[in-house]
C-alpha cells in the first residue's frame, strides 16, 4: 500500500535566518523596557544613573560625562521642568541587548581592556570588570533603555527626548568612539515589532558620521538615513558611507549660515524621498564652534535653530519624533542643549 502523501499543513524546516528572527521578536515582545507612562510625566527621559563618575578618570576623555544631569538641572532652574516630571527608564538587560548584539560581543565587554578601547580611556583597562560594569556600562545600559522607551512615548505624545543616548558609532558587531551599545538600532528594531511601524528615518546631525547604524541598516529599505557630518574627521568609515541614503558632507570650519542653508535643502529632499512613521533625531552638539573634535563653527543659536527645523519637519507632517543628545565635547554643551529644549517648548 502506498504511503499517504504528506499533509500540506506539515511544518516546514525552519531556516537559521527565520529562527534568529523569531528569537529576536520573542525577546522584544518579552522585554520590560516599554511601560506605561502617566500623563503627569512629560516625554523627557532621564535618570541620574546616566552620569558617569569613575574615580575622576572619566575626565581623561573630552566628553562631559555629567552632561546629561547638567541639562536637566538647567531645565529645572529655568522652570520648564520639574524633577518629578521626568521619566526614569529601565536598564537594558542582556536579553534586550541580544536583540541586536551577538553573545560574543556582549561577552567581550567582560574584558576591561576591551571596554577601555571602546570608550577611549586607557586606564579603564586596569580596573576589575565588575567595577567597570557598575561605573561605565550600567550608565550606558540605562541610556539604551531610555532610547528604546522614547519611541513608544513619541508615538503616544508626538515627541520624546532622551537626555542621553545617540551612540551612533556602535553597530551590532562592534563598539567604538565612546559608543558601547547600538541604541539607535535597538530603538528602531523594538519599534518595528512593538509599535507596528514599518518605516523609520534617522536624521543624524552629530558632527561625526553615524557609521554604526549605517552598517546595521545597510540595504534595509524600511530605514532612511540622512547624515550630515564633517567628512574629514573620525570615523572616516568609507564602507558605511555607501549605506547612507542621503549624505551631506561638510568641511571643517563650516559656519552657521552655510550649515543651516544646507540643512534646509537636505530636509526638503528627505521630505520628497521618504515618508516615515518615526523620526530618530541624533542631535549631537559637537557642531558647536570651539568643539575640539567636531571642528565646525556653529553658534549656540544655530544649534537651537537646527533643532527647531528638525522638530518642525516632523510636526508639520505629523510624524512622531525622538531626540537623542549624542556627542558634544565642551562644558558649554549642556547649557546649549537646555536652551534649545527651552526654545522648543
Residues designated catalytic: 169
CA distance 340 to 345: 9
> Packing angle between helix 16-30 and helix 183-194, nearest 10 degrees?
90
User: CB atoms < 10 A from the CB of 287, how many?
Assistant: 30
SS3 100: coil
SS3 288: strand
Contact (CB, 8 A) for 260 and 277: no
User: In sequence order, what are the beta bridge partners of 18?
Assistant: none
CA distance 233 to 100: 27
Cβ neighbors of 19 (< 8 A, separation 6 or more) are none
C-alpha cell at 135: 561605573
Cβ neighbors of 133 (< 8 A, separation 6 or more) are none
What is the rounded (10 degree) CA torsion for 320, 324, 330, 332? 40
C-alpha cell at 121: 580611556
C-alpha cell at 338: 537646555
CA distance 95 to 106: 10
C-alpha cell at 113: 581592556
User: CB atoms < 10 A from the CB of 269, how many?
Assistant: 13
Amino acid at each position: 500500500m502506498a504511503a499517504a502523501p504528506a499533509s500540506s499543513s506539515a511544518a516546514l524546516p525552519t531556516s537559521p535566518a527565520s529562527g534568529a528572527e523569531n528569537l529576536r521578536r520573542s525577546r522584544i515582545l518579552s522585554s520590560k523596557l516599554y511601560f506605561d507612562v502617566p500623563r503627569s510625566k512629560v516625554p523627557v527621559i532621564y535618570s541620574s544613573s546616566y552620569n558617569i563618575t569613575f574615580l575622576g578618570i572619566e575626565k581623561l576623555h573630552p566628553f562631559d560625562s555629567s552632561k546629561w544631569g547638567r541639562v536637566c538641572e538647567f531645565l529645572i532652574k529655568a522652570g520648564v521642568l520639574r524633577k518629578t516630571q521626568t521619566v526614569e527608564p529601565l536598564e537594558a538587560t542582556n536579553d534586550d541587548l541580544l536583540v541586536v548584539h551577538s553573545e560574543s560581543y556582549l561577552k567581550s565587554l567582560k574584558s576591561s581592556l576591551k571596554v577601555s578601547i571602546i570608550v577611549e580611556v586607557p586606564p579603564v583597562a586596569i580596573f576589575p570588570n565588575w567595577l567597570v560594569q557598575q561605573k561605565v556600562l550600567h550608565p550606558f545600559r540605562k541610556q539604551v533603555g531610555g532610547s528604546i522607551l522614547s519611541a513608544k512615548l513619541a508615538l503616544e505624545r508626538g515627541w520624546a527626548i532622551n537626555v542621553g543616548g545617540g551612540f551612533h558609532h556602535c553597530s551590532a558587531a562592534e563598539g567604538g568612539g565612546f559608543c558601547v551599545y547600538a541604541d539607535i538600532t535597538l530603538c528602531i528594531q523594538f519599534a518595528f515589532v512593538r509599535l507596528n511601524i514599518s518605516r523609520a528615518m534617522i536624521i543624524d546631525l552629530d558632527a561625526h558620521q553615524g557609521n554604526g547604524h549605517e552598517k546595521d541598516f545597510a540595504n534595509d529599505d524600511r530605514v532612511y538615513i540622512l547624515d550630515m557630518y564633517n567628512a574629514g574627521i573620525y570615523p572616516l568609515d568609507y564602507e558605511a558611507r555607501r549605506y547612507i541614503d542621503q549624505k551631506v558632507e561638510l568641511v571643517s570650519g563650516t559656519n552657521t549660515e552655510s550649515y543651516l542653508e544646507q540643512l534646509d535643502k537636505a530636509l526638503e529632499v528627505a521630505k520628497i524621498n521618504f515618508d516615515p512613521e518615526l523620526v530618530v533625531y541624533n542631535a549631537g552638539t559637537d557642531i558647536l564652534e570651539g568643539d575640539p573634535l567636531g571642528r565646525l563653527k556653529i553658534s549656540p543659536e544655530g544649534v537651537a535653530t537646527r533643532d527647531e527645523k528638525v522638530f518642525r519637519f516632523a510636526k508639520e507632517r505629523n510624524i512622531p519624533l525622538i531626540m537623542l543628545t549624542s556627542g558634544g565635547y565642551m562644558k558649554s554643551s549642556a547649557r546649549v542643549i537646555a536652551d534649545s529644549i527651552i526654545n522648543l517648548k
